[in-house]
Amino acid sequence: MGKYFGTDGFRGEANINLTVEHAYKVGRYIGWYFNQKSSSRAKIVIGKDTRRSSYMFENALVAGLTASGADAYMLYVTTTPSVAYVVRTEQFDCGIMISASHNPYYDNGIKLINAKGHKMEAEVENEIEAYIDGEIHEIPFATKKEIGRAKDYAAGRNHYIGYLISTATRSFKGVKVGLDCSNGSSFAIAENVFKALGAETHVINNEPDGTNINTNCGSTHIEILQGYVKENHLDVGFAYDGDADRCIAVDENGQVVDGDLILYVCGQYLKKHGDLNNNTVVTTVMSNLGLYKAFDAAGIAYEKTAVGDKYVNENMVKNGHALGGEQSGHIIFSKFATTGDGILTSLKIMEAMIEQKQSLAQLAEPVEIFPQILENVRVYDKAVAQADEDVQKAVKEVEAELGDEGRILVRESGTEPLVRVMVEARSHEICREKVDKVVKVLREKGHVIK
């Protein structure tokens, strides 16, 4: 990770540690960089989520891009995967998504996507950081006819909606579906897709006001959808995050089907149809032990990467795997997308249910999830806290105590000042005890922000 760009772009609180000046300079460098590489004027496509600050950052990025001579194409409010789709299918040099994903409304972020629809290469992000900090030469302004233009490109979002509909292999007629749009990017897309496919579609949290994105809704507050599905006797529910690159499902009984269970359901389905390339699913180190035991029983191989859909995708591209994802709901189907795509994921779950004539609860039943506690500890310095000798000693002691019946994982957040302490074990009580043991040391050593 760089100084500004983490595993999921340049993230921070709007106008505190991610300012309009930062956005302007990102636009200036991106416009100049791709103009140098292009035989014609560079074309950059921009999308944003529903945060109030997204409009401000959009204007700053456009000013920077056009001042450097690039043309900016505006998708307006849309999802991160839609930007990735438009970039790779409509010959853009680069895509920019303005979003802090699942973070609170006052945070925001700038995600860069390359011409192939993948997250931008680290070397380009490093050059942008150097430009922001004044470590490389000043970029010339475009003048006269070389100044770029901002263009309406809302049609690109419609192209993406059409693409999603085209991926469905079955009608959804007769299926009662609940959608929690998190007052975010999916509010203008998901309902249209499900209705076009014939589902009886019930939608909540689809009235964004700029400050209610992810607030007590969406994939980070799945209890809202759980209650909604049960109260309305729906067949299935899907919750997205702010930029709709994640999906968490709820079965007909109101039980949560997280990314691990989705990987099992879809992995089994792809395997039955001969579409699970290399008979392998890519996971991260955060996936539950129960998932791996279920994969072993089903004869499905798996690989583990560092946390972040960026790393999952890199592994999938390198090895030609068809399915990968995270417990948090970032699921990648490489045949259809280059990023996690919440709406696409929900369509694929629907396909598995309808084709196999089973409910989501039945499809996920073989996975026995180990109890897990994940505590996010806000610290002064992530690296110093995790490297502390006493903290490492406590972690090793927990590892020895758990043996083969559980595991502990302590890692830094890629986007926030947090150390994440996760324990899986045979009981909730054991998980709580082991997490508390490590957090206690973090507090005693003065790493925790009070």
- Alpha carbon distance 397, 4 (integer Å): 35
Is 241 within any annotated ligand binding site? yes
- 168-364 shares its CATH topology with 372-444: no
How many residues can be counted in the chain?
450
pLDDT at 1 (0 to 100): 58
Contact 177, 200 (CB under 8 A): yes
Contact 268, 298 (CB under 8 A): yes
Contacts of 256 (CB under 8 A, 6+ apart): 222, 226, 248, 249, 250
Return the exposure string of 285-320: e unless at least 16 CB atoms fall within 10 Å of the residue's CB, then b.
ebbbbbbbebbeeeebebbebebbbbbbbbbbeeee
Return the exposure string of 94-117: e unless at least 16 CB atoms fall within 10 Å of the residue's CB, then b.
bbbbbbbbbbebebbbbbbbbbeb
- Alpha carbon distance 421, 424 (integer Å): 10
- Alpha carbon distance 118, 339 (integer Å): 7
Nearest to 372 by CA among 256, 262, 267: 256
Nearest to 19 by CA among 50, 64, 86: 64
- Alpha carbon distance 402, 396 (integer Å): 10
Here the tokens at position 79 are: 């999802």
pLDDT tens, N- to C-terminus, the chain (450 residues)? 578 998 789 999 999 999 999 999 999 999 999 999 888 899 999 999 999 999 999 999 999 999 999 999 999 999 999 999 999 999 999 999 999 999 999 999 999 999 999 999 999 999 999 999 999 888 999 999 999 999 999 999 999 999 999 999 999 999 999 999 999 999 989 999 999 999 999 999 999 999 999 999 999 999 999 999 999 999 999 999 999 999 999 999 999 999 999 999 999 999 999 999 999 999 998 899 899 999 999 999 999 999 888 899 999 999 999 999 999 999 999 999 999 999 999 999 999 999 999 999 999 999 999 999 999 999 999 999 999 999 999 999 999 999 878 989 999 887 788 999 999 998 999 999 999 999 999 999 999 997
Pairing status of strand 176-180 against strand 150-152: unpaired
Pairing status of strand 9-13 against strand 107-113: antiparallel
- Alpha carbon distance 72, 148 (integer Å): 7
Name the catalytic one among 53, 101, 186, 287.
101
* Other residues' Cβ atoms within 10 Å of the Cβ of residue 147: 14
For the domain with range 372-444, which CATH number is right: 3.30.390.30, 3.30.310.50, 3.10.105.10, 3.30.450.40?
3.30.310.50
For the domain with range 5-154, which CATH number is right: 3.40.190.10, 3.40.630.30, 3.40.710.10, 3.40.120.10?
3.40.120.10
Domains of the chain, residue spans: 5-154, 168-364, 372-444
Q: Determine whether 334 is an active site residue.
A: no
Is 258 within any annotated ligand binding site? no
Is 404 within any annotated ligand binding site? no
Nearest to 298 by CA among 262, 343, 265, 260: 265
Contact 351, 168 (CB under 8 A): yes
- Alpha carbon distance 255, 84 (integer Å): 31
Is 245 within any annotated ligand binding site? yes
Superfamily covering domain 168-364: Alpha-D-Glucose-1,6-Bisphosphate, subunit A, domain 3 (3.40.120.10)
Predicted TM-score (pTM) of the model is 0.89
- Alpha carbon distance 26, 70 (integer Å): 13
Here the tokens at position 345 are: 């994921």
Cα 77 versus chain centre, distance:
17
